[in-house]
Amino acid sequence: MAKMGEEQVKVLSLWVSPFSMRVLIGLEEKGVRYEYQEENLDPKSELLLQMNPIHKTVPVLIHNGKPVNESLIILEYIDEAWPTSNPLMPSNPYDRAVVRFWADFLNKKFFEDAFYGILKTEGEALEEGKRYMLKYLGYLEGELSARRGKPYFGGEQFGYLDIAFIPYACWFHSFETFGKWKIPWESEFPRLQQWMKKCMQRESVKKILPDPLKVLEYATPFRKNFVTSE
């Protein structure tokens, strides 16, 4: 195992992927030096296929040659492999279960029903995607309000669940464009709006999140693979 000064950390990533952003923000928060490798995914690189043969997806964290896959698993790995700085997970078992539940919710429901539910659809399916988005943002607003005035999903500390969700912040402009709507932040999700502002002040988030306009530039042709009427 390499000595601390000889650690090699590499991330295979796609700049616009919320999953990739999670990993990079996590590493930045921990102050870990890493090498970034952009993956086109078409074709997939030899290294990606070797490091993630089962899913063939990004992000992949390669730590001293050993791969870790799946963004949420990588976040917990980052927290455990670099335990002395800036804990990402709450310490209490129940709080840990709660943030894991909501991060899993983001992957299981939010990503399919709301994110892809708007990005890849039109007509009635798009309207349904928008309804899911509002419903799920409502859940998350409620979860944040349960923190009783503390600024983050992690409570006082920016952590795992904040990192899991904040990458969507640069995608909302695209969701609003494709859905031809404005998400009612001030009237319906004021805590989420505040939370996003606060997260966007963090160095890690400022560094990693791309410009929403650039995300829209990427998303527009991507959408055309699924929505032929535009």
Q: Using CB under 8 A as the criterion, which residues of the chain lie in contact with a second copy when the complex forms?
A: 54, 63, 66, 68-70, 73-74, 76-77, 80-81, 93-94, 96-97, 100-101, 104-105, 109, 139
- CA distance between the termini of the chain: 53
- Asked if 181 contacts 125 with a C-beta cutoff of 8 angstroms, the reply is no
User: What's the chain's Rg over C-alpha atoms?
Assistant: 18
Shortest gap between Cβ of 15 and a second copy (angstroms)? Answer: 24
Shortest gap between Cβ of 182 and a second copy (angstroms)? Answer: 26
In this complex, which beta carbon is closest to a second copy, that of residue 104 or of residue 211? 104
In this complex, which beta carbon is closest to a second copy, that of residue 68 or of residue 166? 68
User: Which stretches within 31-122 are classed as H helix?
Assistant: 46-51, 71-81, 93-105, 116-119
Distance from C-alpha of 165 to C-alpha of 169, rounded to nearest angstrom? 8
Shortest gap between Cβ of 210 and a second copy (angstroms)? Answer: 27
Shortest gap between Cβ of 151 and a second copy (angstroms)? Answer: 23
In this complex, which beta carbon is closest to a second copy, that of residue 93 or of residue 123? 93
Q: DSSP secondary-structure letter at 6? A: G
- Asked if 141 contacts 66 with a C-beta cutoff of 8 angstroms, the reply is no
Shortest gap between Cβ of 161 and a second copy (angstroms)? Answer: 13
In this complex, which beta carbon is closest to a second copy, that of residue 13 or of residue 69? 69
Shortest gap between Cβ of 112 and a second copy (angstroms)? Answer: 12
In this complex, which beta carbon is closest to a second copy, that of residue 112 or of residue 211? 112
Q: How far is CA 30 from the centre of its chain?
A: 17
In this complex, which beta carbon is closest to a second copy, that of residue 142 or of residue 184? 142
In this complex, which beta carbon is closest to a second copy, that of residue 69 or of residue 174? 69
Shortest gap between Cβ of 14 and a second copy (angstroms)? Answer: 19
Q: Which long-range contacts (CB under 8 A, 24 or more apart) does 199-208 make?
A: 199/152, 199/158, 199/162, 199/166, 199/169, 200/166, 200/169, 202/29, 202/158, 203/28, 204/24, 204/25, 204/28, 204/29, 205/25, 205/166, 207/28, 208/21, 208/24, 208/25, 208/28
